[in-house]
Amino acid sequence: MSTLSLRGIVRQFGPLRVIHGIDLDIAQGEFVVFVGPSGCGKSTLLRIIAGLDQPNGGQITIDGRDVTGTRAAERGLAMVFQSYALYPHMTVRQNLAFGLENQRMAKEEVARRVAEAARMLQIEHLLARKPGQLSGGQRQRVAIGRTVTREPGIFLFDEPLSNLDAELRVQMRVELTALHKRLQATMIYVTHDQTEAMTMADRIVVLRAGRIEQQGSPLELYNRPANKFVAGFIGSPRMNFLDGQAVGGRSVAFEGLPNLDIPAARETTEGEAVTLGVRPEHLAFTDGAGLPGTVDIVEQMGGESYIYVTLANEARLTVRRPGQTQLHAGEPVRVAIDGAAHLFGRGDDEHAITPRRLP
Amino acid sequence: MIRFLTRRRGGARADWTDWFARIYLLIGLLVMFGPVAWLALSSFKTQTALQEFPPSLLPMGQKQVALPGTERPLPVFLVPQPDGVAQERVMVRRVGLEGQFVDPADPARRIERARLTAVTPVRELHFAIENYIEPLKQFNFTRFLGNSLFVTIVSTAITLLINAMCAFALSKYEFRGRDGIFIFILSTLMIPITVVLVPAFLIVTGLGLGNSLWGVILPPAATPTGVFLLRQYMLTIPDELMDAARMDHASEWRLFWRIILPLAAPALAVLAIFSVVWRWNDFLWPLIVLNRQENFTLQLGLAAFQGELQTQWHYLLAMTVVTLLPVTLVFAFLQKYITTGIASSGMK
């Protein structure tokens, strides 16, 4: 269990700067998830924390100790790799013990830790096998077991679930959360999947193009996205966006559609270009005033339904309703906001306009 | 085996392509294996049998019988008897154009006389084992064999180690001039060995390694082929494994020793085979470095049988077979790696 802090971390490959001065503090026992689209620098940042990559500037401290120039081996961290990176020529037992043997640990202690990790991850019956004889999920457990035996200050995970099938991914997600509870360890987890981030994180750090866009608890990010990027990235299906203009300090005008009253528009100047953001679950069909459109496609999930609607001005909306729906493709509908709406600036700065929420 | 040989392309009856393939393969077998088989069979022939014309495939020799009271075994002939049937008789003496023969079953009974043109020698399969025993005893061939083994094994071990280290650095580390160094190493492949023979010899004598087995072992230990082969293979080992090992407190040396070397085993096996064959068959370089007979390798020893005036074919053939054996064994046991090696490097 360790704390970590990053100060002004910069990384560039040649003239290309991929990490732009990141500041971050991670508390003891926290489960932090770095999330962002491909190429946002999240894996690079993790490798810099691990010591596998050196930053071009900035400072990394672990438990108050400056480790910026320290080699990976001496930082006391352990990492699960995307490809698992199990040593193919060693048995599972040797894989688990390799890191401990490198530290010249006593044989009995190595055996004890390997046995304990194997029991915890239920891979005891696999100890004599080679990684090639294991299924994806089993390899994943061994890779996690390898970090558990090390009893590291911080666990690092680099997209560990991306090679698993959907069902196994859900199961491993639960197990990882349980593991975190049991070990009370500091964990840093990198993923591009916002569902993993939402379900596991104590705190989510959203990265884009080497910068932190927003950080906070999953619900903070969901309820109060700081900008359009975070709003679009967190939540599934994706938030709906409609481009419009602020009118009269209280409503937003859309081309070819009736105006909508949005309290957030109080903060805008007359005629300012804004984007309205509404999550699919915060839309409903109405008989009264609403945005007119036609149903495109209906997806019945049983427990809930997704209805894709094309509005009168050709803009598209996704509506998510609980239960099953009687709507059919081609039916005319009226869509109204039934919950939170967000308003964002447009252009270079797509920040959220306060107050951020309805009602 | 039978199943393998009668395997067909598919269908109930053998297609013409099956027959074509079999005939083609049979011709290939004769062309490739025939000379080797003839060499092995001829190595068991006596010196006289070797000079026979027309030559025989099997090691045939005249049947000889040891009689009591005679020093050496005596040759056996078919001698026509008065009743017209030819019988086996031992020639005890030769007088002019006639021979004196006795019955091997009862040598004391009587002596028969017959003209040499009337009798025919009795031939039988005879393996001249002495072709093998004598050179191994007299000509110090066990010593040559030992030298060759020492050179081959030590040289291969050194080759594997330093080539693997070089390939590791060239494939897994990034440093300025890495590609330049690699291309430079590869470009030495373009220089024929005959060009560097004299300078290499001068260096070896300068280091005091002239006429020593180490002079044969060390100069060819680092091979561009080996570096190339191992580097290309090591490039396929994922870097994440190295990162994982680094996270696991492994030092760079341990990384090489415990992760890279075991994973590069197939490539190392290929290089080991190549190196064994190269060093074992090497003739020119040992010939130049070694000039005292006790340091000779097998190949030099073999050359010693070929004199300016006379060649001792029977010894030469027998010792050639001895020389072929280890390489054949290496090929037999490691052929799986050889095919992958040739496929991956395009060299042989």
pLDDT in tens, A113-141: 999 999 988 899 999 999 989 998 899 99
Residues of A in contact with B246 (CB under 8 A): 51-52, 71-73
> B178-187 and B141-172 are packed helices; what angle lies between their axes, rounded to 10 degrees?
150
pLDDT at res. A69: 87
CB B271 within 8 A of CB B230: yes
Q: How many CB atoms lie within 10 A of CB A336?
A: 15
pLDDT at res. A92: 94
Residue A140, sorted as left (phi over 0), alpha (psi -120 to 50) or beta, turns out to be alpha
Higher per-residue pLDDT: A290 or A350: A290
CB A231 within 8 A of CB A239: yes
| Res. B341: pLDDT tops 70 | no
Whether B248 has its CB under 8 Å from any CB of chain A: the answer is yes
> A107-120 and A136-150 are packed helices; what angle lies between their axes, rounded to 10 degrees?
140
| Res. A220: pLDDT tops 60 | yes
Alpha helices in chain B (DSSP H): 2-5, 16-42, 47-50, 130-138, 141-172, 178-187, 193-206, 213-217, 224-235, 239-247, 252-254, 261-263, 265-281, 284-289, 298-304, 313-345
Whether B245 has its CB under 8 Å from any CB of chain A: the answer is yes
Whether A105 has its CB under 8 Å from any CB of chain B: the answer is no
CATH architecture classification, A4-224: 3-Layer(aba) Sandwich (3.40)
CB A335 within 8 A of CB A291: yes
> B313-345 and B265-281 are packed helices; what angle lies between their axes, rounded to 10 degrees?
150
Partners of residue A291 on adjacent β-strands: A335
Query: Smallest CA–CA separation between B334 and chain A, in Å?
Result: 20
pLDDT at res. B102: 82
CATH code that applies to domain A237-345: 2.40.50.140
| Res. A348: pLDDT tops 80 | no
Smallest Cβ–Cβ distance between A98 and the set B240, B248, B263 belongs to B248
Which residue in chain A has the smallest CA separation from B250? A102
User: What is the residue extent of each domain of chain A?
Assistant: 4-224, 237-345
Residue A351 is classified by DSSP as: B
Closest residue by Cα to residue B322 from B126, B149, B125? B149
| Res. B93: pLDDT tops 50 | yes
CB A179 within 8 A of CB A147: no
Which residue in chain A has the smallest CA separation from B253? A102
Residues of B in contact with A71 (CB under 8 A): 246
Whether B236 has its CB under 8 Å from any CB of chain A: the answer is no
Find residues 309-348 of chain A whose CB sits inside 8 Å of chain B.
none
ipTM topping 0.90? no
Convert the pLDDT of each residue in A159-180 to its tens digit.
999 888 888 899 889 989 999 9
| Res. B209: pLDDT tops 70 | yes
Whether B239 has its CB under 8 Å from any CB of chain A: the answer is no
Calculate mean pLDDT across residues B218-234. 91
Smallest Cβ–Cβ distance between B247 and the set A79, A83, A88 belongs to A79
Higher per-residue pLDDT: A39 or A187: A187
Hey, what domains does chain B have and what are their CATH numbers?
2-42 (no CATH), 60-125 (2.30.30), 132-345 (1.10.3720.10)
Q: At which residue do the structure tokens 């099938």 appear? A: A165
Query: Smallest CA–CA separation between A97 and chain B, in Å?
Result: 9
Convert the pLDDT of each residue in A68-90 to its tens digit.
988 888 888 999 999 889 999 99
pLDDT at res. B312: 81
Convert the pLDDT of each residue in B239-290 to its tens digit.
999 999 999 988 899 999 999 999 998 889 888 888 988 899 889 999 999 9
Convert the pLDDT of each residue in B123-140 to its tens digit.
778 787 888 888 777 777
Query: Smallest CA–CA separation between B238 and chain A, in Å?
Result: 8
C-alpha separations of B47 from B61, B131, B207, B308 in Å: 10, 9, 44, 18
Which residue in chain A has the smallest CA separation from B252? A73
This prediction's pTM: 0.78
